[in-house]
């Protein structure tokens, strides 16, 4: 089981690189006139099909932190972590039916523009600057670092900086062509991602079957997983008792059973899929039906993701537990890379191409969103108000280059310490603290006409403060067992409240304060969005997609509850 890549693996990878590059350049040449139209460049306005929107959403969402981080959680928790993906499909239904009509009706192109239109310019500017810092110094850096580390491990361990530069340049090449190039190359990226991911899962299952004497059969291998690790095939993590081990407590702290479904996981998903420039940008340039169909298509693809990013982690757990995975290093986050060592020559290159596709697509999508926010919400409004269409495109390209350069500089020697906490944890830590306040601000802004700008600003700040309070200080200040929460020993000498519960509590109290503050304002805020009868009505074909998605989710939960 040679971990290094052979000539055939490099050949497969190079073919992937050439196909994506040639296709991206072809799309760019056909739409070169977009350089004269800023909205076409940043949003591919009117040019994206439903399948391009759906594929781009998935390609931008799935990256190294999913392949490595979620596979690691599969190793640790099991199928419970699939809730992030399966409930994302439900969140995408909510976004398609209720969020997108509000955005398109009010001609919203960026999230800061939403805040300016609904609240005030101060709120928009504060959040624009915040999102730029978050996207550059949290998301972009962690994706680049974690991706480079993962591929470097498969390539032999001596090429970290070369791989880092290669990923950055590849993503830069795609993103400089604008949103249409990003979105349509994402179609190839997501195809490679799914095919390569399924191949890895298939090999993982057949390897399990081989080692446990049931033959090289994927279905038989899956049955072995369910037999050898039945606790890894339960969606609901049980609440700890006085006799629970630290391992059982740690699992509950990561995913607190039914309480996750009553609190944090919905905030995470609805904020990510509905209030995030990086994601919603793909649909904001389309008409309503195209946007809805694309978003629901992405929801169907999300149902497939646990098979690709989680199942190899469970396979790694079963093999490791039985002594068949000595090559596992780095704990749970090494699970996916360890499984890749079983792939034969050539297929290993395909899996590396899948991992690269996920990383590059996420990097390209992220820098495109950074350039859109900077150009349309900061530069055009406050620095160069008279900038024409072509100037805006050039400014956007400069922002793309600057953002990627900063990401490389800060990940070169891991200045931010991403490797110390892990990329997945790094992203969750810094985005999770702000999510309750941001989602409360967007949710009330869309659906309650009384919400005021002052309440929005207070909500964002309060949501962050409460998140820090509940996550870091509440057990020490208020005790470990209260009416609101129970804190559990974290194995490090302290007590913690499960992160999802912290998010739920922060969101609840933030909403409460925002509502009370807004009652001091007019009954209908002058900046409230207008709604129309039938605005949220869906066509029969949309209903069919929703029903199919929900039936699959219900079947999965019935099977693995």
State the pLDDT confidence band at 352, using cuts at 50, 70 and 90: confident
Give Cβ neighbours of residue 253 (< 8 Å, ≥ 6 apart): 488, 490, 496, 498, 499
Please state whether beta strands 488-489 and 495-496 pair in parallel, antiparallel, or not at all (unpaired): antiparallel
| pTM, rounded to two decimals | 0.88
Q: What is the mean pLDDT of residues 307-335?
A: 86
Chain centroid offset of residue 454 CA: 30
pLDDT at 290: 93
Token pair of 505 as six digits: 């509590």
Q: Return the sign of the alpha-carbon dihedral for residues 428, 432, 433, 435.
A: positive
CA proximity to 120, closest of 239, 237, 376, 128: 128
Per cent of the chain over pLDDT 90 is: 43
User: Which DSSP category does 275 fall into?
Assistant: S
Structural domains for the chain? 7-27+45-423+540-560 (1.20.1730.10), 433-530 (no CATH)
Helix (H, G, I), strand (E, B) or coil at 346: coil
pLDDT at 2 over 50: no
Q: Does pLDDT of 242 surpass 50?
A: yes
Would you say 309 and 70 are in contact if contact means Cβ atoms under 8 Å apart? yes
- Is residue 489 helix, strand or coil? strand
Written in H, E and C, the secondary structure of 494-528 is CEECCHHHHHHHHHHHHHHHHHHHHCCCCCCCCCC
Three-class SS string for 142-203? HHHHHHHHHHHHHHCCCCHHHHHHHHHHHHHHHHCCCHHHHHHHHHHHHHHHHHHHHHHHHH
Range with the largest mean pLDDT of 177-181, 309-313, 420-424: 309-313
Average pLDDT, integer, range 497-503:
91
User: Cα angle vertex 82, ends 419, 417, to 5°?
Assistant: 10
Q: What is the mean pLDDT of the chain?
A: 87
- What mean pLDDT comes out for the span 257-279? 87
pLDDT (tens digit, 9 = 90+) per residue, 277-312?
Answer: 878 877 887 899 999 999 999 999 999 999 998 999
Tell me the backbone φ, ψ of residue 380, rounded to 5 degrees: -65, -30
Q: Where are the alpha helices (DSSP H) in 62-118?
A: 64, 71-76, 83-94, 100-105, 111-118
């Amino acid at each position: 089981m040679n971990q290094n890549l052979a000539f055939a693996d490099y050949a497969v990878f190079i073919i992937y690189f050439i196909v994506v590059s040639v296709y991206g350049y072809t799309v760019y040449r056909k739409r070169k006139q977009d350089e004269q139209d800023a909205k076409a460049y940043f949003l591919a306005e009117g040019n994206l099909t439903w399948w391009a929107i759906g594929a781009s959403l998935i390609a931008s969402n799935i990256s190294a932190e999913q392949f490595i981080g979620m596979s690691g959680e599969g190793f640790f928790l099991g199928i419970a972590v699939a809730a992030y993906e399966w409930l994302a499909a439900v969140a995408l239904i909510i976004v398609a039916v209720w969020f997108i009509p509000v955005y398109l009706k009010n001609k919203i192109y960026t999230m800061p523009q939403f805040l300016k239109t609904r609240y005030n310019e101060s709120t928009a500017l504060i959040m624009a600057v915040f999102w730029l810092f978050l996207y550059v110094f949290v998301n972009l850096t962690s994706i680049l670092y974690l991706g480079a580390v993962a591929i470097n491990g498969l390539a032999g361990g001596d090429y970290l900086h070369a791989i880092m530069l290669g990923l950055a340049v590849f993503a830069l090449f795609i993103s400089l062509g604008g949103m249409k190039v990003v979105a349509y190359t994402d179609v190839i990226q997501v195809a490679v991602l799914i095919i390569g991911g399924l191949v890895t899962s298939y090999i993982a299952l057949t390897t399990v079957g081989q080692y446990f004497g049931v033959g090289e059969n994927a279905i038989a291998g899956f049955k072995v997983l369910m037999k050898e690790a039945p606790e890894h095939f339960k969606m609901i993590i049980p609440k700890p008792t006085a006799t629970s081990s630290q391992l059982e407590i740690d699992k509950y702290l990561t995913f607190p059973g039914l309480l996750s479904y009553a609190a944090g996981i919905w905030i995470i998903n609805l904020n990510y899929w509905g209030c995030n420039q990086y994601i919603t940008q793909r649909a904001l340039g389309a008409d309503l039906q195209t946007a809805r169909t694309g978003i629901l298509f992405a929801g169907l693809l999300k149902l497939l993701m646990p098979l690709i990013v989680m199942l190899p982690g469970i396979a790694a757990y079963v093999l490791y537990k039985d002594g068949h995975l000595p090559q596992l290093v780095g704990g749970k986050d090494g699970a996916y890379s360890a499984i890749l060592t079983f792939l034969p020559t050539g297929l290993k290159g395909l899996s590396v191409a899948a991992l690269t596709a996920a990383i590059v697509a996420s990097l390209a999508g992220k820098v495109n969103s950074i350039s859109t926010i900077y150009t349309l919400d900061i530069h055009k409004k406050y620095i160069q108000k008279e900038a024409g269409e072509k100037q805006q495109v050039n400014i956007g390209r400069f922002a793309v280059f600057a953002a990627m350069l900063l990401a490389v500089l800060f990940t070169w020697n891991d200045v931010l310490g991403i490797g110390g906490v892990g990329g997945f944890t790094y992203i969750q830590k810094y985005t999770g603290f702000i999510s309750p306040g941001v989602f409360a601000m967007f949710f009330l802004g869309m659906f309650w006409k009384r919400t005021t700008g002052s309440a929005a600003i207070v909500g964002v700040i309060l949501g962050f403060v409460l998140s820090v309070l509940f996550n870091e200080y509440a057990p020490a200040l208020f005790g470990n067992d209260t009416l609101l929460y129970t804190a559990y020993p974290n194995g490090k000498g302290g007590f913690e409240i499960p992160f999802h519960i912290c998010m739920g509590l922060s969101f609840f109290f933030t909403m409460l304060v925002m509502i009370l503050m807004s009652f001091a304002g007019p009954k209908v805020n002058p900046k409230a969005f207008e709604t129309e009868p039938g605005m949220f009505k869906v066509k029969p074909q949309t209903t069919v997609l929703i029903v199919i998605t929900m039936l699959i989710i219900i079947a999965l939960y019935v099977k693995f509850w």
